[in-house]
Amino acid sequence: MLRKLFSRCMFETRQNLKMPCEVNTRFVILYGSQKGQAQSIAEGIAVEAEDHGLVAELSCLNQSEKYNLEKEKAPVVFIVSTTGDGEPPDNALQFVKGIKKKTLSTDHYKHLCYALLALGDTNYANFCNCGKTIERRLQALGAKQFYVTGYADDGVGLEVVVDPWLEGLWKAIKGAFASYSASDEGTTLSDARPASPVLASQSHDTASVSTAASDTHKDGGAPHVPLAASLTCSLPPLSQSSLNVPALPPPYLHVSLQDVDSREQTVGHLNNENVHEVPIERAIQLTTGDLVKTSLLLELDTSAYPTMTYLPGDSFDVFCPNRATEVEDMLCRLGLQDKKHHQVHVSLNKDTKKKGAQVPSYIPPSISLLYLLTWCLEIRTVPKKAFLRALVEHTGDTVQRRRLQELCSKQGATEYNQYVRDPGLSILEVLTAFPSCSPPLCLLIEHLPKLQPRPYSAASSCLKHPGKLHFVFNVVEFSACSGRPVGRRGLCTGWLFDLINPGKPKCSGSHALPKIHVSLRPKCSFRLPSDLSVPFVMVGPGTGVAPFIGFLQQREKERQDNPEAVFGETWLFFGCRYRDRDYLFREELEGFVTSGVLDHLKVSFSRDELEMEGNEVTTSVARPRYVQHNLLLHRQQITEILLKKNGCLYVCGDAKNMAKDVNDTLIEIIKTQLQVDQLEAMKTLAGLREEKRYLQDIWG
């Protein structure tokens, strides 16, 4: 998502750092990137190197033919992200595998000096794990760090760490070159302390955009000062401040439209052998009434694709298009409504100096403009500051220009977060708020990321529902805000909602519902214990219960097939707002208890006022409102399952709040039950995670 931000996140004017020795100008940048963010940062460094009189050699970690760390003497800068449950990005897998080899000696990389920027998200387990793994191994193999490692958190905004880290990098590289020179004179690099990121001492030259919006009011009278700041208006001091805005790199793509009717072109990425078009067989709304999110269960008929067998715990991707109305609005803004069926040709600008510039791989050849905007580009994307910066150049009105400059400036960082990032404003919403802005198509292609499919967890077991795949989702609602006069639904969930139209009768006949494109996601470690006797605890409030329905359906079948076997006890902690509105799968869950498949069902209702019957909770303690409260109430049994009976604990659902609260509660439980301090408790939990006995499948 931030792909384009960082490649442009260089400030307008910079002082070139003078190198101590003319020959020391070469350094290496290696990146491992899943969604393009790390790649984009790496590319940005490569471009900026020239401003500093340096020569950067940029490679992806999987392009091992392009670099040779075994012999590399120049500083090496690693930019690596982490994906999934702490895994390396696909294009760093081989490198990480290689560097972990036990046969490598402890001085294997003693000639190497490196800096590392790790990208991650604290909402997920194993924050920055790939970066940490590479760093651990580099150090174990004798490499020397020349600059402190940056750990950037997408949960709060990568730029919080990335920007200062990038600022300090140049001084650190200069220091590394100096150490090399000194080491020639007898000092070794290991004597050189890693430079810390320099925040205050790096000066940004102020770009010449200091004219305040309030001063440029066209009536020429007293400056107009708005009463309240909003997306389009600022107040002093920002409106009167000088601004540091990101530099504007020249466009690197060339886009042309050809008058060839491409209406009949077959769909590009949907034409992949792993993507299947399957009918929605049933759609059921699981919630009723107000004050709860709308949850829907869809049953897909996958029987035409026998290879689509899945195990409980698996998730799969749903491919959704951008909304037709938004695509039309975008075409209007681009002034290209009458060319929507023209073929789009995207190529690299011949004279581009952008390092590693490529035509985005997710834009297939010979597609129409309509297809491009419908299936390839995420037109709902929240524009990054670099995108806003680029929009300035295509905005006619001076007040609007100034406001866009503010929003992408250092000084306007808080307002950018408040008015753009936090409300999740789309580029179309920004364009609507700034009507004098008319960006060209190539700018959109350069800045909009790939339209990603949305993953969903299977909420069924193939054993119980052969040829069927169930999933359950909440319809995401974005409320109205400054810049969004009317609320809207999430892209995929809003699309699915419209497709099945739950206003109509709940279950439709076999052919009444449309087909959707789906593909199973590879690599899954969220699995039931293979040993039937292992006890396990499941924590899944709201739609987080989805994979556990699959687990329990599978367990039900296993019990029928193995009547003699010993089964470990099972616990499910579920939570919702109201017992009678959003208690998902209530009948099925209670049925599992009756049949003995589920030994303990603990449900918490965050908004119901009365103590719930059948919740097995004593009234002497405060009513458990959230899953973690119920976990605390049953701490003894949980400790026993996890620490004495070698059991497992699964958590699924909201990454932002619930998973963190559950994690903290588990630490608390371990602390009190084992009478150990916080650090020891954290280590115990980390150990469980390592042993794959504490597993998370979380999203946010």
Residues that bind ligand FAD (CB under 6 A): 315, 380, 423-424, 454-457, 471-474, 476, 478-479, 490-494, 543, 546, 699-700
d(CA 175, CA 181): 10
Q: Classify residue 473 as exposed, middle or buried by CB count within 10 Å of its CB (0-12, 13-18, 19+).
A: buried
Of residues 44 and 449, the one with the C-beta less far from ligand FAD:
449
Q: Is 578 left (phi over 0), alpha (psi -120 to 50) or beta?
A: beta
Smallest gap from residue 522 Cβ to ligand FAD (A): 12
Smallest gap from residue 352 Cβ to ligand FAD (A): 31
d(CA 464, CA 311): 11
Of residues 416 and 471, the one with the C-beta less far from ligand FAD:
471
Smallest gap from residue 598 Cβ to ligand FAD (A): 20
Smallest gap from residue 304 Cβ to ligand FAD (A): 23
Q: What is the 3-state secondary structure (H, E, C) of 555-624?
A: HHHHHHHCCCCCCCCEEEEEEECCCCCCCCCHHHHHHHHHHCCCCEEEEEECCCCCCCCCCCCCCCCCCC
Cβ atoms 651, 125 nearer than 8 A: no
- Helix (H) or strand (E) holding 504, with range, is none
Of residues 38 and 472, the one with the C-beta less far from ligand FAD:
472
Smallest gap from residue 495 Cβ to ligand FAD (A): 8
Q: What is the 3-state secondary structure (H, E, C) of 385-399?
A: HHHHHHHHCCECCHH
Smallest gap from residue 280 Cβ to ligand FAD (A): 15
Among 321, 335, 323, which residue's Cα sits nearest to residue 444? 335
Cβ atoms 662, 626 nearer than 8 A: no
Phi, psi of 629 (to 5 degrees): -70, -40
Of residues 19 and 476, the one with the C-beta less far from ligand FAD:
476
Smallest gap from residue 454 Cβ to ligand FAD (A): 4
Smallest gap from residue 490 Cβ to ligand FAD (A): 2
Of residues 342 and 380, the one with the C-beta less far from ligand FAD:
380
Cβ atoms 177, 75 nearer than 8 A: yes
Per the omega criterion (within 30 degrees of 0), is the bond before 237 cis? yes
d(CA 228, CA 643): 56
Smallest gap from residue 154 Cβ to ligand FAD (A): 11
Smallest gap from residue 125 Cβ to ligand FAD (A): 12
Q: Report the relative pairing of strands 113-120 and 76-81 from DSSP bridges.
A: parallel
Q: Bridge-partner residues for 301, per DSSP?
A: 468
- The amino acid sitting at 74 is A
The token pair that represents 87 in the structure block: 């895994």
Of residues 42 and 330, the one with the C-beta less far from ligand FAD:
330
For residue 60, what are the contacts with CB-CB under 8 A and spacing of at least 6? 30, 31, 32, 33, 39, 91
Smallest gap from residue 589 Cβ to ligand FAD (A): 16
- Helix (H) or strand (E) holding 312, with range, is none
Of residues 378 and 640, the one with the C-beta less far from ligand FAD:
378
Of residues 226 and 487, the one with the C-beta less far from ligand FAD:
487
Of residues 378 and 661, the one with the C-beta less far from ligand FAD:
378
What's the first-to-final CA gap in the chain, in angstroms? 15
Helix (H, G, I), strand (E, B) or coil at 58: strand
Among 384, 379, 374, 391, which residue's Cα sits nearest to residue 426? 379
- Neighbouring CB atoms inside 10 A of 122's CB total 15
Q: Looking at beta carbons, which residue is closest to ligand FAD? A: 490
Of residues 403 and 484, the one with the C-beta less far from ligand FAD:
484
Of residues 407 and 681, the one with the C-beta less far from ligand FAD:
407
Smallest gap from residue 217 Cβ to ligand FAD (A): 32
Q: Classify residue 25 as exposed, middle or buried by CB count within 10 Å of its CB (0-12, 13-18, 19+).
A: middle
Smallest gap from residue 232 Cβ to ligand FAD (A): 19
Q: Classify residue 609 as exposed, middle or buried by CB count within 10 Å of its CB (0-12, 13-18, 19+).
A: exposed
Smallest gap from residue 460 Cβ to ligand FAD (A): 11
Of residues 172 and 491, the one with the C-beta less far from ligand FAD:
491
Of residues 416 and 478, the one with the C-beta less far from ligand FAD:
478
Of residues 432 and 673, the one with the C-beta less far from ligand FAD:
432
Smallest gap from residue 541 Cβ to ligand FAD (A): 12
- The amino acid sitting at 428 is L
Among 348, 342, 344, 336, which residue's Cα sits nearest to residue 254? 348
- Neighbouring CB atoms inside 10 A of 84's CB total 17
Of residues 472 and 617, the one with the C-beta less far from ligand FAD:
472
Smallest gap from residue 234 Cβ to ligand FAD (A): 22
d(CA 266, CA 689): 45
- Sequence-ordered strand ranges (E) for 475-523: 477-478, 488-489, 515-520
Of residues 6 and 699, the one with the C-beta less far from ligand FAD:
699
d(CA 570, CA 223): 68
Q: For tokens 């000696």, what's the residue?
A: 105
Smallest gap from residue 155 Cβ to ligand FAD (A): 10
Among 513, 547, 521, which residue's Cα sits nearest to residue 453? 521
Of residues 253 and 492, the one with the C-beta less far from ligand FAD:
492
Q: What is the largest CA-CA distance in the chain?
A: 90
